[in-house]
Structure formats: structure tokens, C-alpha cells
Amino acid sequence: MRVTGVDLYHVEIPPIAAIARLNPRIYDITICRVRTDEGLEGLGESAVYTLSEEGRARLEAQAAGYVGQDPLAVDPFAQEDLFECAFLDLQGQALGWPVWRLFGPRVRERVPVSYWSSAMPAAETAAEAEAGRRLGFTNHKLKARTHNIVETVRLMKEAAGPEYTVGVDPNTSFGHVHTAARLAAELEPFGTVANLEDPIPKENLDSYRLLREKTHIPVAMHIGVPQGRRPCRGADVLAALKAECVDYLTLGGRAREVMAAAAVAAAGNVPVWVQMGGVCLGVLAAYSVHVQATIPNATLPCDELPFVREADILGGSLELAEGHFTVPEGPGLGVTLDMEVVERYRVR
């Protein structure tokens, strides 16, 4: 088998209307399709960062270099993440295996996922919570801000009910332990806040430990982001565990980084959730779902969010129902690209 071509599609799909009003453009993302002379096609997706013209030219040169190679001889994990996913998809198809089987035993058939909204006025977030509940979600992650988070959670509970929980992500904007502790004390009575993720800056782990002692709400820390900007390191997980400063961890980055970091967290009996793609288009979410299917302590709702875009490039082939992705049976990623959607939103 030989690679006969690699197609790159730079795609920009706007977010759903509720998010688009305040965030009309969330990245343009690169999708790749690696084609072979045996008719197999492997799919990949970049992480959520806009490429420069130079970056696109580099990717195109890299893609051209695969032509003529045996895809089974390519080490996926030595490639850029866009191509890592595509070659694992191809190799899984060639073996007749779903991608999860290349990582280890499957421990779950469905992967929980949160609904999501960006920072917006409290009433608008509450309306989105009601929409999320109607869609079958039970947890809602939101970008939180000091000035309206308490009012936001109050209105969300009224709109979606007490069983609909909230993951509060201030992106460290609560600033100080005393502010975060005060807000946590105001949020606790609602009984719906599932966690505080990155409430304050992460440089001082003692501050996190102090905050954890001041609230019953689980404290979470986000470790690692995709594209190598900040790797997901087991050493950072170990430091957080030794400092006794977290109840949960959210892990972002490439597959093997996430798996290694999750294993360290598991040794400390700390549950995790995963964000390999975030506000992605879908291929990367499918890859993440395969990886999460093999991580025993990835029990919390993940942050893979292609459904907050106005169109689905996978044409429903990554099944989402009742707040869970179904792990594809494969072979490979077990999903297909809807080329009509790709071409409609392709950046010319």
C-alpha cells in the first residue's frame, strides 16, 4: 500500500448563533485526508489555532512528502498531530481495528461530554443551559467571570433544574484566593457547581491548596494544551498531587501525553477529563473519544465540542446522544468526512 495523495482543507465553520453573537469567529482549522492506492483514506485535524500563510506552506510541503510512502511504515507518533491522527486512522483500517485498540483495552463504550458556552450575559447563559438540557446534556461548562458568575448559576438552575450541573472555568480570572473563596461560598448553596477549573493563577500550588481547604466545591486544574505550546506533562500532574491542591484534573494535548498524565493522576486516585480538540470540527473529537475509551480515570465529562458549530463535517458519524459520545466501532476512527460541508465552509 502506498500514499497517493494528501488533501489539506482549511475550514472555518462559525459557532452556533448564541455563541456567534459575542464570538463570531472561532479559528480556522486544517483537516487532512491521506489517500492510498488501496482506496483507504485517513483523516486528521489540527488543533484550534489559526495557521499563518507560512504555516500552511509548511504543512503543504510536509503533506507532499508522504506521497509514495507505505502508510503502515510511518510512525504516527513521530508526526505532527494533524498527521498522527490520519495515519492511525489508516493503520486501524488496514488492520480492521478501531483506533482505541491501538492504545489498549476499552474501558467504556460511551464517553461523557459537557455542553459549553463562552462568557456571555447571565440570562443568555441560562437560555443556553435550557437548550443543553433539552439536548440531553447533564453538565455545562462555561467561561466564568467574577462580576456575574453567581447570578449566572442562579439563573441556570432556574432554567435547567437542579440535576443540570455547572463546570465553572474562570481561566484564572478570579485572581486571588480570597475572591475565589468568597465566590465559592456564594455558589455552594445552589448545589449545582460540579467544579472550579483554574479559578486562580496556577504558579503557586499552595494557593490552590488553601482554596481547596475553603470550599466544598471540587477544585480542578487544566494541565497542557495542544500544538506543543504547553505540553501535558506527568511531572506537572505529580506536582499537583504532591501539593494536595486538586480534586480533579483536565488534560489537554496529544494522545500519548494525555494518557501518561492520566496514569499519574490515576495513581493518586484523581479523576480527569480530556480536551484534545476543544472547539474542534469533529475529527479530533473522534480521535479523543477513542483515546478516552482506554483511560480508566477519564470519568468526567470531556471538553470535545464540535456540536457548538453550526454544521457537522462528520455528517453525524460521530454519534452524540444524552450527553455522551458513542465510541466508534471502527475500523480506524470509524467516522466519515462530509465533503459537501467541508467545501461549503472551506477558506478559499
pLDDT single digits (tens) 81-115: 899 999 999 999 999 999 999 999 999 999 999 99
Please say if the pLDDT value at position 251 is more than 60: yes
Q: What is the DSSP string of 192-239?
A: -EEEEES-S-SS-HHHHHHHHHT-SSPEEEEE-BTTTTB---HHHHHH
pLDDT value of residue 56:
79
pLDDT value of residue 54:
80
Mean pLDDT, the chain, rounded, equals 93
pLDDT single digits (tens) 213-228: 999 999 999 998 765 4
Cell match 452524540: residue? Answer: 320
Distance of CA 340 to the CA centre of its chain: 25
Is the pTM higher than 0.75? The answer reads yes
- Please work out, in degrees rounded to the nearest 5, the angle formed at the alpha carbon of residue 48 by the alpha carbons of 298 and 270: 20
Find the mean pLDDT for residues 144-167. Answer: 96
pLDDT value of residue 23:
76
CA distance 71 to 288: 21
Find the mean pLDDT for residues 263-271. Answer: 97
Whole-angstrom CA distances from 69 to 35, 81, 93, 144 are: 11, 18, 17, 47
pLDDT single digits (tens) 161-213: 999 999 999 999 999 999 999 999 999 999 999 999 999 999 899 999 999 99
Q: What is the DSSP string of 103-153?
A: TS----SEEEB-EEE-S--HHHHHHHHHHHHHTT--EEEEE--TTTHHHHH
